Amino acid sequence: MEQFDRLLAQGRRALDDGQLSEALTLLRQAEAIDDQSADLYLLLAETLEEKGQPDKAEVALNRGLQLDPEHLDLHYALGDLLLEKGRLDEALQKYRTIVDRDRSEIDAWVSQALVLLSLERAEEAEQACRQAVDIDPHSTFALTTLGDICLALGRDEETLEYYQKALELEPEEGQVYLSLGDYYYDAGQFEDAEHYCRKALELDSELTTAWLTLGNLCLDQEKDKEALFFFRQFLKFEKNPSSQQIRAEVAAVVEGLK
């Protein structure tokens, strides 16, 4: 087992360093020694997903859950993967499985809310998200999501209230700035929308929908050259499998702007 532990640790370091092929090789070597470790399959799934192999990642996660059905990190990872694949009902069930096991799991409540919002079940989403806020009133993830839900329900004043609370608690959280950018874009306040979207990207370059909002903002103002740049940035960085439809739509807009 000493060799297995060493390979697992080396694989984890390689993954953290972004050396995905090396990480995969090390983890497969560890699997050949001991294929009964749920933690191994969690790392293996993360590596496979990073390498753009979501189907193999799903197989690894299910294998891990066969070994340890109570492993919450595996449930979270599978829920997130199903969400990325656009399998919303399955993702929702997975997050519900987590809170059935532990009612205090805030992230699972909020993730449920996000899925329900995507399913246009905003009232149910609000109920789930308020469970999270009741558990931790200082969770920026929960407060930002509750703001998103209030926006979908047309309660603009509450929307801003929750976003501002989240920002006060964590002024370096890019997602809050992105939500504010989207809010001001929808309100037609383009200067504020641009400010918050740029700030979101400054804090977290992986918030790819900020590029999309900036592109739409410029397009609405007939700034075609700037819009083209932002849309191309979105296409460059957005790799989520569930974004195929929006990517196709943006690609069509890009062709029209050339």
**How far apart (Å, rounded) are the C-alpha atoms in residues 105 and 91?**
16
Q: Give pLDDT, residue 206.
A: 85
**How far apart (Å, rounded) are the C-alpha atoms in residues 81 and 157?**
33
Q: Give pLDDT, residue 79.
A: 98
Nearest to 179 by CA among 160, 153, 165: 160
How many angstroms separate the Cα of 179 from the Cα of each of 33, 112, 162, 220? 46, 18, 11, 19
pLDDT tens digits, 21-60? 999 999 999 999 999 999 999 999 999 999 989 999 999 9
Q: Give pLDDT, residue 243.
A: 80
In total, the chain counts a number of residues equal to: 258
8 pLDDT exceeds 80? yes
Burial of 59 (0-12, 13-18, 19+ CB in 10 A): middle
Percentage of the residues of the chain whose pLDDT score is greater than 90: 88
CB proximity list for 86: less than 8 A, separation 6 or greater: 241, 242
Task: Spell out the domains of the chain, with CATH numbers in brackets.
Answer: 175-257 (1.25.40.10)
pLDDT tens digits, 78-132? 999 999 999 999 999 999 999 999 999 999 999 999 999 999 999 999 999 999 9
Nearest-Å Rg of the Cα atoms of the chain is 20
Percentage of the residues of the chain whose pLDDT score is greater than 70: 99
Letter string b/e over residues 147-180, b meaning 16 or more CB atoms within 10 A of that residue's CB: bbbbbeeeeeeebbebbebbbeebeebbbbbbbb
Q: Give pLDDT, residue 78.
A: 98
Q: Give pLDDT, residue 255.
A: 87
**How far apart (Å, rounded) are the C-alpha atoms in residues 167 and 161?**
10
Residue 172 phi/psi, 5-degree rounding, is -105, 15
pTM above 0.95, yes or no: no
**How far apart (Å, rounded) are the C-alpha atoms in residues 35 and 4?**
10
Residue 222: both structure tokens together: 């007939």
H/E element, 254: helix 244-257
Q: What is the mean pLDDT of residues 62-77?
A: 97
Residue 21 phi/psi, 5-degree rounding, is -65, -40
Contact 24, 51 (CB under 8 A): yes
Residue 206: both structure tokens together: 């992986």
Contact 159, 117 (CB under 8 A): no
Question: What angle do helix axes 2-16 and 38-50 make, rounded to 10 degrees?
Answer: 30
